[in-house]
Amino acid sequence: MLTGAGISAESGIPTFRGEDGLWRKYRAEQLATLSAFIQDPKLVWEWYDWRRGIIDTKEPNPGHEVLAGWEGFFPQFALITQNIDGLHQKAGSNNVTELHGNIWKQRCIEEKTISEYHDVPLKEIPPHCPECGALLRPHVVWFGESLDGTILQKSFMLSSTCDVMFAIGTSAVVQPAASLPLSAAEAGAKFIEINPDPTPLTSYADFSFRAKSGELLPLLDAELRRRSEEKKE
């Protein structure tokens, strides 16, 4: 299971590339790169503080809730997300692999220590490490930065050994995340896409649902549970 910003759209969190997407209003290279941060940490932190404020008020939607339920329904369920909003965990998912980090965590740029901080708004912008006084940065993966090697390796391992792969609410243009469903399909998994719009992955999908995940996933869930009950009878 790979999710992207679209699964949180129905919770009211802006996507990146949709009609009201963040990259339509803001330039990625001015806000989501290390060089942007080094040049103007205050500006970058103000943007993240604003986004934290939005995310803080939002709740998981039925799409997140179904996936949280599937953790107990399918014996070997794995959830990999590109999202940094923490809504899967808020919905009750315990085992979430976060490819691009988490907006509620920050990292000291000197010591590399990671801490969690939930205050909204931030008390200090830009914030500093309480231990060494160096700048803290959001614990997220910006363009041009490598993903955590262990997380990436685990994600490719899970993808290339699964029976069924879903890609939900991702435009599938950002690498290496977009390659995960392909690695699953190449290894023989059934590949299902849920997205109102086609993506570069669509032509590889066994099934493509042109739908909102918060609407489709509960229907799929009800049908799967009905069939499972039928089998038991």
Residue span binding ligand BJW (CB under 6 A) among the ranges 35-43, 128-136, 159-167, 206-214? 206-214
Is 88 a known active-site residue? no
Residue span binding ligand BJW (CB under 6 A) among the ranges 72-80, 105-113, 193-201, 222-230? 193-201
N-term to C-term CA, the chain:
29
> What is each CA distance from 113 to 55, 92, 101, 107, 222, in whole angstroms?
24, 26, 14, 5, 43
Nearest distance from residue 48's CB to ligand BJW, in Å?
7
Between 133 and 149, whose beta carbon lies closer to ligand BJW? Answer: 149
- Which 3 state secondary structure label does DSSP give 104? strand
Binder of ligand BJW out of 12, 53, 176, 188 (CB under 6 A): 176
Residue closest to ligand BJW when measured from CB atoms:
6
Between 93 and 195, whose beta carbon lies closer to ligand BJW? Answer: 195
Q: Does 84 contact ligand BJW by CB under 6 A?
A: yes
Binder of ligand BJW out of 1, 2, 13, 15 (CB under 6 A): 15
> What is each CA distance from 138 to 3, 46, 77, 148, in whole angstroms?
21, 11, 29, 15
Q: Per-residue b/e over 21-45, b at no fewer than 16 CB within 10 Å?
A: ebeeeeeeeebbbeebbeeebeebb
Number of residues written out for the chain: 233
Q: Does 90 contact ligand BJW by CB under 6 A?
A: no
Nearest of 6, 15, 48, 8 to residue 142 by alpha carbon: 48
Please state, as a whole number, how many other Cβ atoms lie within 10 Å of the Cβ of residue 148: 16
Pattern 94-133, ligand BJW, x by CB under 6 A = ------x---------------------------------
Q: Does 143 contact ligand BJW by CB under 6 A?
A: yes
Choose, from 100, 118, 128, 139, the residue flagged as catalytic: 100
Cβ-contact 168, 1 below 8 angstroms: yes
Q: Which residues are known to be catalytic?
A: 100
> Which residues in this chain contact ligand BJW in the complex, by CB under 6 A?
4-6, 9-10, 15-18, 21, 32, 82, 84, 100, 140-146, 169-171, 173-176, 194-197, 199, 212-214
